Structure 1
Amino acid sequence: MKTREYREYSDDKYRRSVYTSTRLRDESRNDVAFDVNVRMVLLAHELGLGYAALRKIVKVLGLPGLHLKTYQRHGKTVTAAEIERDLESLHRTREQVRQAYADIDADVAELLREDADAVINISVSFDGTWQKRGFTSHYGIGVCIDIFTGLVIDFEVLSSYCHACALKEAARHEGKITDEEIDSWRETHDCAQNFRGSSKAMEQEAAKRMWARSVSRHQLRYIQMLSDGDSAAFREVVSLNPYPGHEVVKLECINHAHKRMGTAIKC
């Protein structure tokens, strides 16, 4: 984004372009990017909006808009930075959880004094949600929250859809590209689809992934699982047996118990 200034000296006129935004190094193209453009893309991400909505915003404000490819390039940069920030935040959160358990349990404190990376047992609340209702969503997320501190310690985002793959498949059906070209493209394509199955099964899959990596990545065992009464995720975790020699126990949510009781009384 830049503005243009006009100044007059005698009979000669000249035009000078002045950038009104600082410029950032764009590592993806070994180039520079306007800070205000990156911030606009970040704004769209924070509001959960896409390119079309951002174009409407800048149109109403009377600002120059971004080209689609520029938006997509900045989107990748912003997404990578957000993921890095979130992972750092989760790491600090897990350290706080480990310290909190050490403060209330002398055995845990002694274990961590002997080995700072020792695996400890904690109790978590787990639940899943989707982008939209009705088990027709392409996107779902599972979240683990430590019961004692109330801090989020892990999450898993699942996607059964990749827009780039869908565009390529549409082009293939129209005869614009061949199967060989698609196969060559997939070799370098970073696919957004990381799950194949129904939307309803996303919650169980997210739980399995988080329980499977809790020891190897986070040095934590989620031995108590607080979830809704008919949680299929708990059955999947039990069948997975992520902690040989340590049983995963289900805790009942009192709010769901109240809900089921109220429904039974009304019927």
Structure 2
Amino acid sequence: LYCSLAFTWEKCEHTIQINTSKMIPDTKHRDINIRVQLGAHFAGIGYAGVTKIFGAMNMPPPLQDHYEEIDRKCLLPYIKKFQHESMRAAIYEAVDENDGDPTALTVSGDETWQRRGFKSIHAVAAVLSCNITPKVLDVQRLSKKCVICTGALSMKNTDPDLYDEIINNHDCESNYDGSSGDMESQGIQDIFKRSVPMYQVQYTRYIGDGDSSAMWNLTQHPPYPDIKIEKIEDVNHWSKRMSYRLENFTQELKDTMLDPEKKPKRNWWY
């Protein structure tokens, strides 16, 4: 979206140049372009969505290489920085509001998959504080596939040297090779294990789904020595499961007469 306007005076040939956006310090990128790309990420539309918007405005699409460079060098480092600062501030807030041991926190955890049905190759696990205003304390991304590794397979046989160079010099996104259903338990386990080195706190009470495998994994593989994590049942999930079972029980007994002496009522039109 950046453009530069130049006005030249014919008599003296003096030129005035006006830039529609300032340059970001220590980069070659313009402020407006970075803001557009950041807004696209917040809206969840990405490069394809920006291209469609530019097309509707009769504007050329952004260069994909330039778009990816802004992501990698400008946006991602700052997003990670602010993410870490935000979660650290949430930890301090949880410690201040904790009534007992300030380093023993009660947290809730859950996970979301990119696709439903336990067939997703990407998932994110998160742990939240249990204050009056819950906040995210830590997140863990799990991926079974790396786009760069997959793309490099096309040149594995034709150019093995280039393939080895790409594989050895890129930041691989794949960090999980188990089943999609176990992503939740592994993500929560990773978050618990790094709570002490990252924040000097321990998550000693865990609020989670009753049907989740995360608590079983924490019990079988304790993240903290000599500390047993207490499970607190999530009331919402408990009521949902109870309602589901009662509905099934009702369907199973709908034709069963509970009181044999009481005759069923007949409708008057029979």
Provide the TM-score with structure 2 as the length reference: 0.83
| Matches of 1:99 and 1:53, distance apart in 2 | 42
Aligned residue in 1 for 2:180: 199
In the alignment, the residues of structure 2 paired with residue 147 and residue 42 of structure 1 have an alpha-carbon distance, to the nearest angstrom, of 30
- In the other structure, the counterpart of 1:228 is 209
> Shift in Å at residue 156 of structure 1?
0.8
Structure with bigger gyration radius: 2
Distance 1:181 1:8, change over 3 A: closer
Specify the alignment match of 2:117 in structure 1.
134
Task: Tell me the distance in 2 between the aligned counterparts of 1:190 and 1:253.
Answer: 37
Query: For residue 239 of structure 1, what is the amino acid of its counterpart?
Result: Q
> 2:9·2:15 contact (CA, 8 Å) conserved in 1?
no
Identical counterparts, % of pairs: 27
Q: Which amino acid aligns with 1:248?
A: I
Matches within 5 A, 1:10-159: 18-26=18-26, 31-76=27-72, 77-101=74-98, 104-105=99-100, 108=101, 120-149=103-132, 150-159=134-143
TM-score normalised per structure 1: 0.84
8 Å contact from structure 1 (residues 121, 220) kept in 2: yes
Distance across 2 between alignment mates of 1:96 and 1:224: 17
How far does residue 56 in structure 1 lie from its aligned partner after superposition? 1.2
Distance 2:162 2:59 in 1: 39
Q: Which stretch shows the higher mean deviation, 184-193 or 61-70?
A: 61-70
Partner of 2:223: 242
Q: Which amino acid aligns with 2:213?
A: A
Give SS of 1:223's match.
strand
Residue 145 of structure 1: how far off its partner (Å): 1.1
Q: Which has the higher strand share?
A: 1
Gapped runs of 5+ residues in structure 1? 110-119
CA deviations 1:123-179 (Å, max 9, x no partner) are 11111111221222222111111223422211111122211111111233xx4422x
Q: Match for residue 2 of structure 1? A: 3
Aligned-residue RMSD, C-alpha: 2.1
Match of 1:162 in 2: 146
| Aligned residues between the structures | 245
Supply the distance in 2 between the matched residues of 1:70 and 1:99 (Cα, whole angstroms): 44
Letter aligned with residue 10 of structure 2: Y
Structure 2 unaligned spans of 5+: 249-270
Partners of 1:4 and 1:15 within 8 A in 2: no
